[in-house]
Amino acid sequence: MKVIHDLKEYPESLRNTVATLGNFDGVHKGHQKIFQALLDEAAACSAQALVVTFFPHPLKVLAPLQAPKAITTLEERLRLVQACGIPLVLCLPFTPDLARVSPQDFVRETLVGTLGVRKILVGEDFRFGRDRQGDIGLLRAMGKKLGFGVRKIRPLRLDGEQVSSTRIRQLIQEGRVRESARLLGRYYAFDGTVVRGEGRGRTLGIPTANLETPSELLPPKGVYAVLVRLGDRRLPGVANLGTKPTFSGRAFAIEVHLFDFDGDLYGQSLRMEFVDRLRDERRFETVQELVEQMGRDLEEARARLDPKRLPLVEGR
């Protein structure tokens, strides 16, 4: 997949396009539906399928305190877009200057002038341009004058629920990771690097790896059944997100215990997929009570991670 980050570097040879525009945070099933429609339309038009996205999220520039936490990093977003078969992405830096561009100028100068769009696919609530003045109606009116078509893609609904980044973000923040997987089409996950911790898990007989992650969005404190990607392996385990209140801890930490694993993980990169939430984090009166509960957590996680019980998601 070719990724272009500067509009000035967009090649003349790629001006014949069918395009879709959006943030596509999470690259969920609704986005995947749009991408498949994009590929189909581009093939029918003998044109280049193009995804136009923005980074950072516009609200991080316009109203930082109101900006949502990203479900995926930009790197992960692009990887997921590529996994959908998209051949070309234009990732535009969202800046105050771009925010001031009128929707009419954006259509004329960028979509038509630079990208040479023949058709645009957008969701029904799509807005763009200065003060979000542009919508699908404006696109259609300008398309009649400038010679491009517009197709509205209706939102995807699963069991009566609309699939959206906002809904998925809410589910993850509530710890309902099993439900979020149904809308994402995969388990919610983030990447992290193993760093040195206090080593307490090993003294308790349940060694853990401590993770640092650049991810903005984390599930709430608690214990989770997880799958961890280590190189080309996918290992089951249990993760704890929290402050270790039994030991009067205050600093937030992400720890994961991998089943039947013995090795040095320090400095390695892991990808942790959240399959299900087991319980809240809580303080125990004694260390022995904690160890006994951890044993029950391991047993419950093994049961929930049994391949026969796992939700049918892609796990990209």
39 lies in the same domain as 149: yes
Residue 231 has pLDDT above 50, yes or no: yes
* pLDDT-derived band at 202, boundaries 50, 70, 90: low
Average pLDDT in the 291-296 region?
Answer: 90
Give me the domain span that covers residue 36: 2-161
Is 276 contained in some domain?
yes
For residue 153, list its beta bridge partners: 123
* pLDDT-derived band at 155, boundaries 50, 70, 90: very high
Q: Tell me the C-alpha distance between 189 and 227, whole Å.
A: 9
98 lies in the same domain as 193: no
Q: Tell me the C-alpha distance between 169 and 26, whole Å.
A: 9
pLDDT at site 244? 80
Is 316 contained in some domain?
no
- The total number of structural domains in the chain stands at 2
- Whether residue 188 contacts residue 179, with contact meaning beta carbons closer than 8 Å, is answered with no
pLDDT at site 200? 63
pTM: 0.92
Query: Domain containing 70 — which CATH number?
Result: 3.40.50.620
Is 175 contained in some domain?
no
* pLDDT-derived band at 38, boundaries 50, 70, 90: very high
Residue 201 has pLDDT above 70, yes or no: no
Q: Which of 116, 106, 162, 167 is nearest to 138 (CA)?
A: 106
153 lies in the same domain as 25: yes
147 lies in the same domain as 201: no
252 lies in the same domain as 110: no
Render the burial of 231-265: b for 16+ CB within 10 Å, e for the rest.
eeeebbbbbbbbbbebeeeeeebbbbbbeeeeeeb
Residues tagged active-site: 255
Average pLDDT in the 181-192 region?
Answer: 96
Is 180 contained in some domain?
no
Token pair in block for residue 283 = 């303080």
pLDDT at site 307? 83
Render the burial of 157-172: b for 16+ CB within 10 Å, e for the rest.
eeeeeebbbebbbebb
Q: Tell me the C-alpha distance between 92 and 90, whole Å.
A: 6
155 lies in the same domain as 194: no
Beta strands in the chain (DSSP E): 2-4, 17-21, 48-55, 88-93, 117-123, 149-153, 157-158, 161-162, 188-195, 209-212, 222-230, 233-242, 253-258, 269-279
Q: Tell me the C-alpha distance between 11 and 4, whole Å.
A: 9
pLDDT at site 92? 96
**Angle, CA 118 vertex, CA 112 and CA 121 arms, to 5°:** 100
233 lies in the same domain as 121: no
Q: Which of 144, 130, 191, 168 is nearest to 30 (CA)?
A: 168
Token pair in block for residue 65 = 């305190």
Is 117 contained in some domain?
yes
Task: Calculate Rg over the CA atoms of the chain.
Answer: 23
Query: 17 phi and psi, to 5 degrees?
Result: -130, 155
Token pair in block for residue 127 = 């807005």
123 lies in the same domain as 220: no
Is 312 contained in some domain?
no
pLDDT at site 286? 82
Q: Tell me the C-alpha distance between 6 and 228, whole Å.
A: 35
138 lies in the same domain as 193: no
CB neighbours of 262 closer than 8 A, spacing ≥ 6?
Answer: none
- Whether residue 178 contacts residue 301, with contact meaning beta carbons closer than 8 Å, is answered with no
Q: Is the peptide bond before 56 cis (omega within 30 degrees of 0)?
A: yes
For residue 120, list its beta bridge partners: 19, 150
120 lies in the same domain as 263: no
222 lies in the same domain as 278: yes
pLDDT at site 199? 63
Query: Domain containing 237 — which CATH number?
Result: 2.40.30.30
Residue 101 has pLDDT above 90, yes or no: yes
Q: Tell me the C-alpha distance between 254 and 222, whole Å.
A: 10
pLDDT at site 197? 73
For residue 303, how many other CB atoms are within 10 A of its CB? 10
Average the pLDDT over each of 66-80, 82-96, 143-157, 302-316 and give the range with the smallest value: 302-316
Average pLDDT in the 58-77 region?
Answer: 95
**Percent share of the chain, pLDDT over 70:** 95
Q: What is the mean pLDDT of the chain?
A: 92
Is 116 contained in some domain?
yes
Choose the final residue of a domain: 144, 161, 178: 161
For residue 295, how many other CB atoms are within 10 A of its CB? 12
124 lies in the same domain as 208: no
Is 314 contained in some domain?
no
Tokens 């600093």 identify what position? 251
Q: Tell me the C-alpha distance between 117 and 15, whole Å.
A: 7
pLDDT digits (tens, 9 = 90+) for 72-83: 999 999 999 999
